[in-house]
Amino acid sequence: RALTRTGPALTSLILFRMPRGRAISHHSRERSGRYRGMVRQVLKQEGLPQDLMYLPLPESGYQPRATSRVGARGLWQFMPGTGRLYGLKINRWEDQRMDPVASTRAAAEHLRELYGIFHDWYLALAAYDSGSLTVARAIERTGYADFWDLYRLNAFPVVETKNYVPIMLAMTLVAKDPALYGVDVTDPEKPFKTDSYKPGRSVDLRLVVDANGVKLVHLAAMNPDILVVVMP
């Protein structure tokens, strides 16, 4: 069903036929390779549509440390309040909004709840962008509980919300068949080979580096949620 209403999405595809749009798609697709398998697995475990794995493309370009001008962070661009609501730790040492695994599980829970409210994935995606109250008010004001009717009626107060779903669908189309849209096809980045370990107390990362024989910059890349990195 994600591609049954492609008119606005096809209009958005014009952006991705331009050099800047193709570059955005190319680099986002490259970065997505590092996390795509994990995201797909979490979505499957949570019983959610696999196409939601493309949601981080418009949100963050699959950059775990991406930060918006209003303070949203991570692959899924959680605001602090929403992140904490779904159990993500945010303090002076750690910000789990930038933890790819923890934030993906939080995003899956959030998306499932939004779908439970609106019973429509397009409306759920719009609510993910603007908040459920914004979408509920648009439905109440117009009497329409269909995203594409709300789109046609310009019912969303912010144009970014109106365009969010078509852009997400456009980026999904490009990601599924990049060559068709003139996007360079290169091998995506490989996932990190990691093991998870939780120390019982605070540990200087220099000790972790010495014990594992990895570079500090690589350790930081594998743990983007750590805010304080002690340089040698």
**Catalytically active residues, by annotation:** 59
Question: Of all helices (H) and strands (E), which one includes residue 214?
Answer: none
Q: Give the three-class secondary structure for 23.
A: helix
Distance (Å) of CA 197 to CA 91, 93, 99, 208, 219: 20, 17, 14, 11, 13
- Phi-psi label, residue 194: left if phi above 0, alpha if psi -120 to 50, beta otherwise: beta
37 half-sphere exposure, CB direction, 13 A CA radius: 8
